Structure 1
Amino acid sequence: MIHVIETTVAGRTLKVEYGKVGMLSNCSIFMSYGETVVMVNANASEKPKEGIDFFPLSVEYEERLYAVGKIPGGFIKREARPSERAILTARGIDRPLRPLFPKGYKNDVQIVCTVLSVEQDNSPEILAMNAASMALCISSIPFTDAVATVSVGLVDDKFILSPTVEERNASSMNLTVCATKDNVTMIEASGNEIPEDVMINAIDFAFEACKKIVAFQEEAVAKFGKEKVIPQISKIDETLQSEVRDFSFDMFKTAMYIMDKDERNKMVDEIKQKISLEFNEKYADKKSDIGEVAYSIQKEIVRNMMLNEDRRPDGRAFDQVRPISCEVGILPRTHGTGLFTRGLTQVMGVATLGALGEAQNLDGIGNEDSKRYMHHYNFPAYSVGEVKPMRGPGRREIGHGALAEKAVEPLLPSVEDFPYAIRVVSEVLSSNGSTSQASVSASILALLDAGVPLKRPAAGIAMGLITNADLTKEKVLTDIQGIEDFFGDMDFKVAGTELGITAIQVDTKLHGLSNYCIKTAINDAKVARLHILEKMNQCISGERSEISIYAPRIYTLNIAPDKIRDIIGPGGKMIKKIIAETGVKIDTYDDGKVVIMSSDSVCANRAVKIIEDLTKSVKVGEIYLGKVTKIAAFGAFVEILPNKEGLVHISKLDFARVNKVEDIVSVGDEILVKVMEIDNQGRVNLSRRDAIKDSETEKKDAE
């Protein structure tokens, strides 16, 4: 039986069809918003996964290029590895859903969101997030708290729900909020220096819109939702729990009160080793449970320390930022470098400037085909003192790089003012909390060191949260370190300038955040951000007056658009020749702009001269120094500009009568010629005699 239910969001129809497709999935739905359509399949294993201490949820977001009428590029011609956008969307779906599953539920759960049709005005990412919640709620999987997601723009000081492409282009903010009917569960934002009070009001606006979509999901569940299975919750043997607790609690308490991280970790490892020696043989088949009890004891001690004793693990005040140091120019041959250290978190940013043609090409379902600013984040195992295989970037690395990219991108100069492609790499050298926000500061330092004229510098900070069991008591922490993130309830990252916010990313382990928590985190983050910016300003107060001597210089020419073909030549022959002769990089544009890039000014100027000559128009009356290319009985052909020849008739070669052309000129000679006429067929008639005459006249006038 096919069930259909629909509602209206921002004047457009949001519709769900259940029972039409995917008959063997636990739940398979079509959800559409306008002409954007996604299919979501949600399934769970029948039995819990043994021997794990985490919830095995996997979320996949599959982009199909047929959704926008495209055939994939490349040789294989099919979708391969997920795009960066798809990976970020999968992360965005996972984060608000994961905390809402029953605690101790360890069945494998997989959510597959497939984008089938895209109308650019209606975001498939937002639709997929709503569809994933709807599918879980309708399914028999033990998930009951519906989560709604909305996007909000800001145009002319007005909040726009589900902005269209035109509205997104005009918007100074791009905000995504996920919420249950009671609380906000996730926030993602990018903005053009949005004031804190405006951002808070925007989140409130989004929360109210989410409530209506939650009600829509609850209506669907009431009409055709499946009966929920009773979850098999993993429980730890009470005797084991009691014995491990009695044996280790006092030792852990002593360890967790050690302020020095290395000393604390060393003692914790020793305690764990003692626990293993004491209990592994007795509970040989429950080693993961032993580890879970040890974790819960540490968590209890740390949370009680902060919530009830007003003491942080390292002794800082709750609103205090760790010691900061900044340095620039630490690598001699790169275009720009910045080293940012906050406590035991340290990130090195390295900036590289390149030709606009080196911008990243995007082959996806969005309407963007390239991006000029690229931010990449690396998190090697040595940054936390571990040994692991070195592989490509995972979802976490891609997500952190994208967040830093969002924070910095609004501050970059326009292409017209600074015609470079820009890449920044964040190398995490040491990690003890909030490396993504340290990446923002390190990147800004690197860009300023590279001479990039930013609107203003930016910095980022991560805020944390500790609550009690009934959420009646909560404390917001500034600049959380690793242990506070690990045992805490929230990771609330805020980046921006002295004027406002450029990026936000919020994750929580709770069922949602209170309004008080959101406001406090945003306002306290501003105080911390201004403190960090002051430290950065003491290191470098503005961009370098000149870019690095190792960075390429850019020269821009504006020519008639129809002259671009003269530069390129048949089959690209001419532009390849120029590049081969000068060693420069050349980008041409349909509007007539030509960008030449080279770190060698001599080579660049040579390329500029060649292009100017190629595109210069021959004018009647002008004198040129040309080269004789061919001789005929009736005259000599002379190249006066690249690929532009004219004829000097034998009668125009000299003042006296000329019997043979060879008596006056030979092939390869350079001679002065004057353009006498361009006939209706474009043929150029030249005169050596008149050029000599005019030159002698000018010489006499000068004397």
Structure 2
Amino acid sequence: MLSKTVTVNNQAITLEIGRFAEQATSAVLVRCGDTVVHVTVVSGQENPALGYFPLTVDYQEKLYASGMIKGSRWVKRDGRPTDEAILRSRLIDRSIRPLFPAGYMKEVQVVATVLSYDSQAYPEILALIGASAALSLSPIPWNGPVGAVRLKDDKLDLVVSGSKEAIVMVEAGGNEAPESDILAKLELGHQEIKKIIQAIEDLVKQAGQKKEVFVKPEINPEIKTQVLAKTKTLIADLIDQVRKSQHEKTADHGLAEIISACVADLPEADPKQIAEIIHEYFREILRHQTLTKKLRVDGRKPDEIRQLSSEVGLLPRTHGSAMFKRGATQALTITTLGSPNLEQLIEDLEGETSKRYIHHYIFPPFSVGECGRIGFPSRREIGHGALAERALEPMLPDETEFPYTIHVVSEIMSSNGSTSMASTCGSTLSLMDAGVPLKKPVAGIAMGLIFKDEKTYVILTDIQGLEDHLGDMDFKVAGTKDGVTALQMDIKISGINFNLLKEALASAKTARLKILDHMLKTLAKPRPHLSPYAPKIVTLNIPVEKIGELIGPGGKTIKKIIKETECQVDVDDDGRVVITGIDSFKLKQAQDWVSGLTREFKVGEEFDGKVVRVEAYGVFVELFPGREGLCHVSRMSTSYVADPHTIAKLGDILHVRIREIDDQGRLSLTCLTSEQEQQVAQNRPSSRHSSFRRNNHRRYSHRQ
């Protein structure tokens, strides 16, 4: 066994090899405090027929790492990965993928498993560091290592990975973080990253395996000349078509036709080589055009945003809806409001947690004019939904102000680049249409890059699908007019320097403000009232010692309230009661019921109550739902009453006064004024009066 320890952000991280997984291509055990993550890398067979690099990254969180057993009574095995685990898998993938050589087609699988968790270290960062170390130690060709850190404060939660020279990946959530703060944090993080890289390089010197030599197969120059001679004009015509069309598949369909025709004309040539030559030439022409003429695929200037359009209130029965369109990218976003008990419960290494704002992103195949699978969300859909969720979350009202569970769904109706940012813009409008009092509206933009060298590059604002495919960066920035709320950067080159990042952030802010102006013309502020189809919520605060009375034995009381009023009643441990219902009258009924059950009565208070029970010795009067008192027959009238039925019947309304409250909280009522009671007392023999009171008290206690 061999180990190396490095101190990062005042925490010691230890990399150890040789303890586990001897049959893996490479394996590293990473430890920080009591958090332990095991990472393996395995190299498989080459499969050129796939047409893409088959890299798989799986990040696994085992509940045993936190000393937990799965809560389900029927299933105890750790199941499919949580959304958070999938996001962490993507975090690793996006950091390591750009550093594999172009054309490498061997299968590579990275598996990171959290074995122990102390709630202090960030296991996803340890997993990323472990993946970098394992790849560096392995014979797999890879232009690493990289390091990663997570920096978190009140304004910014930032994950950054990078090489010694540049930044490779960024993922962040912020509470209106200024661009200057983001850059400062990136630079700080990069200094820590260099320490990690040095430790990995030291470990490689001691135990690294000899790297596989990979040379990308060369294309026959004669075949290339023949192919281009037949297709240059066709490709030029296709570029004109792409410029006029807004649809993402125009280029794909056109290239497929050109390739098919060329393969028929050159039967002796390898069809795969023909396709590669045509795709590469198409890519080079468009990139050269952008770099030299500052002219983009669709004819826009580098900083130009596509045409914007938006609408709200499109769907009559939903609680809020909005459509946001940028070029051919269109998102329909729907907001649904629910009671607090509908919040999502999550079981992970932190135990059982919950969240009240849930954003789901759906990318159906028809959005790009294709046939495809409908069903479980892809990793990409989970990632895009999480990004849009992160962008809006800091601007949501506090739960005490707006106690609803909020579910937002973004349906992508058409896609041509930056659908996640269209979802963010559409979500803002949909939430405002639903009457959610956002602190500030949020917009998002995707920035791109065509890079030749540090002096020759073009930053692109609002990239479309083809530019994402041909370019070198996808940099999504979301925020308000005052700062950034979410950030995500992926690249296809080895790294991005800080000057370029600074320029990209500045351009993104300019674009974000323009988009916000457009959105506010559609809907200037949240609607003052909720949809009539949205549930209504009333919040009460009751004394903690009254919670038992509200719930009742075995939940009998609260269940009765829920059944009779058709409202949901939720009680927190601190005495906060949230009542949710559709019907305003029933909501008020439930509110009065809860208020009455927990109300502190005082002697002398007067009420108009309903008679709910008539006995020989008096009537029981309901002052509030669930709160009754006894009005003895002797206090129903100044004259003698032989039968209480002659004075009151079930359902009658009696004006009563609280005469006495005993030590058990039971209420003694009277229909008489104080003067009338004194008069009755003077006319009644004292001995008989005492005996009557004792006998009645026994009967009242028995009934209660």
TM over 0.5: yes
Q: What does residue 161 of structure 1 align with?
A: none
Q: What does residue 52 of structure 2 align with?
A: 54
Q: What does residue 581 of structure 2 align with?
A: 598
Q: 1:328 aligns with which of 294, 306, 312?
A: 312
Amino acid aligned to 1:56:
P
Residues 1:520 and 2:503 aligned together: yes
Residues 1:302 and 2:286 aligned together: yes
Q: What does residue 90 of structure 1 align with?
A: 89
Q: What does residue 204 of structure 1 align with?
A: 187
Please give the secondary structure, in 1, of the residue aligned with 2:71: coil
Give yes or no for contact 2:248–2:415 (8 Å, CA) kept in 1. Answer: no
Give yes or no for contact 2:325–2:331 (8 Å, CA) kept in 1. Answer: yes
The one-character-per-residue Cα deviations of 1:238-284 (angstroms, maximum 9, x if unpaired) are: 55444333322332123124411269965763553343244269669
Residues 1:376 and 2:360 aligned together: yes
Give yes or no for contact 1:672–1:692 (8 Å, CA) kept in 2. Answer: no
The more displaced of 688-697 and 476-485 is: 688-697
Q: Whole-Å Cα distance in 2 between the matches of residues 628 and 262 of structure 1?
A: 71
Give yes or no for contact 1:464–1:488 (8 Å, CA) kept in 2. Answer: yes
> Counterparts of 1:304-319 in structure 2 under 5 Å?
304-319=288-303
> Counterparts of 1:527-546 in structure 2 under 5 Å?
527-546=510-529
Query: For the structure 1 residues 26 and 352, does the alpha-carbon distance in structure 2 shift closer, same or farther, using more than 3 Å as the test?
Result: same
Structure 1 unmatched runs, 5+: 155-170, 698-703
Q: Whole-Å Cα distance in 2 between the matches of residues 324 and 415 of structure 1?
A: 33
The more displaced of 139-148 and 392-401 is: 139-148
Query: For the structure 1 residues 684 and 95, does the alpha-carbon distance in structure 2 shift closer, same or farther, using more than 3 Å as the test?
Result: same
Cα offset for 1:91?
0.5
Q: What does residue 142 of structure 1 align with?
A: 141
The one-character-per-residue Cα deviations of 1:199-256 (angstroms, maximum 9, x if unpaired) are: 1122111111111111111111112222223347455455544433332233212312
Amino acid aligned to 1:423:
H
Q: What does residue 421 of structure 1 align with?
A: 405
The one-character-per-residue Cα deviations of 1:263-308 (angstroms, maximum 9, x if unpaired) are: 9965763553343244269669944443333221211111111112
Give yes or no for contact 1:464–1:485 (8 Å, CA) kept in 2. Answer: yes
Query: For the structure 1 residues 667 and 335, does the alpha-carbon distance in structure 2 shift closer, same or farther, using more than 3 Å as the test?
Result: closer
Please give the secondary structure, in 1, of the residue aligned with 2:449: strand
Q: Whole-Å Cα distance in 2 between the matches of residues 489 and 551 of structure 1?
A: 45
Q: What does residue 435 of structure 2 align with?
A: 451
> Counterparts of 1:524-603 in structure 2 under 5 Å?
524-603=507-586
Q: Whole-Å Cα distance in 2 between the matches of residues 222 and 264 of structure 1?
A: 47
Q: What does residue 71 of structure 1 align with?
A: 69
Residues 1:36 and 2:35 aligned together: yes
The more displaced of 592-601 and 15-24 is: 592-601
Residues 1:227 and 2:225 aligned together: no
Q: What does residue 615 of structure 1 align with?
A: 598
Q: What does residue 501 of structure 1 align with?
A: 484
Q: Whole-Å Cα distance in 1 between the matches of residues 327 and 127 of structure 2?
A: 39
Q: What does residue 467 of structure 2 align with?
A: 484
Cα offset for 1:404?
0.8
Give yes or no for contact 1:302–1:313 (8 Å, CA) kept in 2. Answer: yes
Cα offset for 1:397?
0.7
Q: 1:655 aligns with which of 638, 642, 645?
A: 638
Give yes or no for contact 2:249–2:369 (8 Å, CA) kept in 1. Answer: no
Query: For the structure 1 residues 629 and 29, does the alpha-carbon distance in structure 2 shift closer, same or farther, using more than 3 Å as the test?
Result: same
Amino acid aligned to 1:30:
L
Amino acid aligned to 1:81:
R
Cα offset for 1:98?
0.6
Amino acid aligned to 1:499:
D
Query: For the structure 1 residues 636 and 379, does the alpha-carbon distance in structure 2 shift closer, same or farther, using more than 3 Å as the test?
Result: closer
Q: Whole-Å Cα distance in 1 between the matches of residues 184 and 193 of structure 2?
A: 14
The one-character-per-residue Cα deviations of 1:326-373 (angstroms, maximum 9, x if unpaired) are: 211122221222211111111122112221221111111236711111
Q: Whole-Å Cα distance in 2 between the matches of residues 293 and 420 of structure 1?
A: 56
The more displaced of 85-94 and 353-362 is: 353-362
Cα offset for 1:649?
4.8
Cα offset for 1:52?
1.9
Q: Whole-Å Cα distance in 2 between the matches of residues 263 and 390 of structure 1?
A: 22
Q: Whole-Å Cα distance in 2 between the matches of residues 12 and 375 of structure 1?
A: 34
Q: Whole-Å Cα distance in 1 between the matches of residues 535 and 650 of structure 2?
A: 39
Query: For the structure 1 residues 131 and 264, does the alpha-carbon distance in structure 2 shift closer, same or farther, using more than 3 Å as the test?
Result: closer
Give yes or no for contact 2:611–2:649 (8 Å, CA) kept in 1. Answer: no
Residues 1:130 and 2:129 aligned together: yes
Give yes or no for contact 2:168–2:496 (8 Å, CA) kept in 1. Answer: yes
Q: Whole-Å Cα distance in 1 between the matches of residues 668 and 368 of structure 2?
A: 76
Query: For the structure 1 residues 6 and 621, does the alpha-carbon distance in structure 2 shift closer, same or farther, using more than 3 Å as the test?
Result: same
Give yes or no for contact 2:638–2:677 (8 Å, CA) kept in 1. Answer: no
Q: What does residue 118 of structure 2 align with?
A: 119
Please give the secondary structure, in 2, of the residue aligned with 1:362: strand
Cα offset for 1:175?
0.7
Give yes or no for contact 2:248–2:368 (8 Å, CA) kept in 1. Answer: no
Residues 1:260 and 2:258 aligned together: no
Cα offset for 1:671?
4.5
Q: Whole-Å Cα distance in 2 between the matches of residues 584 and 499 of structure 1?
A: 40
Query: For the structure 1 residues 265 and 395, does the alpha-carbon distance in structure 2 shift closer, same or farther, using more than 3 Å as the test?
Result: closer
Q: What does residue 166 of structure 1 align with?
A: none
The more displaced of 224-233 and 283-292 is: 283-292
Q: Whole-Å Cα distance in 1 between the matches of residues 288 and 593 of structure 2?
A: 74
The more displaced of 653-662 and 479-488 is: 653-662
Amino acid aligned to 1:131:
G
Q: What does residue 17 of structure 1 align with?
A: 16
Q: Whole-Å Cα distance in 2 between the matches of residues 461 and 672 of structure 1?
A: 66
Please give the secondary structure, in 1, of the residue aligned with 2:347: coil
Q: Whole-Å Cα distance in 2 between the matches of residues 670 and 264 of structure 1?
A: 72
Structure 2 unmatched runs, 5+: 681-704
Q: Whole-Å Cα distance in 2 between the matches of residues 681 and 442 of structure 1?
A: 57
Q: Whole-Å Cα distance in 2 between the matches of residues 406 and 34 of structure 1?
A: 29
Give yes or no for contact 1:629–1:639 (8 Å, CA) kept in 2. Answer: no
Cα offset for 1:34?
1.5
Q: 1:178 aligns with which of 161, 186, 203?
A: 161
The more displaced of 675-684 and 134-143 is: 675-684
The one-character-per-residue Cα deviations of 1:361-396 (angstroms, maximum 9, x if unpaired) are: 111123671111111111111111112122221011
Residues 1:110 and 2:94 aligned together: no
> Counterparts of 1:276-291 in structure 2 under 5 Å?
276-279=260-263, 286-291=270-275
Amino acid aligned to 2:283:
K
Cα offset for 1:655?
3.2
Determine what percentage of the aligned residue pairs are the same residue.
42
Query: For the structure 1 residues 673 and 428, does the alpha-carbon distance in structure 2 shift closer, same or farther, using more than 3 Å as the test?
Result: same
The more displaced of 56-65 and 575-584 is: 575-584
Query: For the structure 1 residues 58 and 618, does the alpha-carbon distance in structure 2 shift closer, same or farther, using more than 3 Å as the test?
Result: same
Q: Whole-Å Cα distance in 2 between the matches of residues 445 and 263 of structure 1?
A: 25
Give yes or no for contact 2:596–2:627 (8 Å, CA) kept in 1. Answer: no
Cα offset for 1:63?
0.9
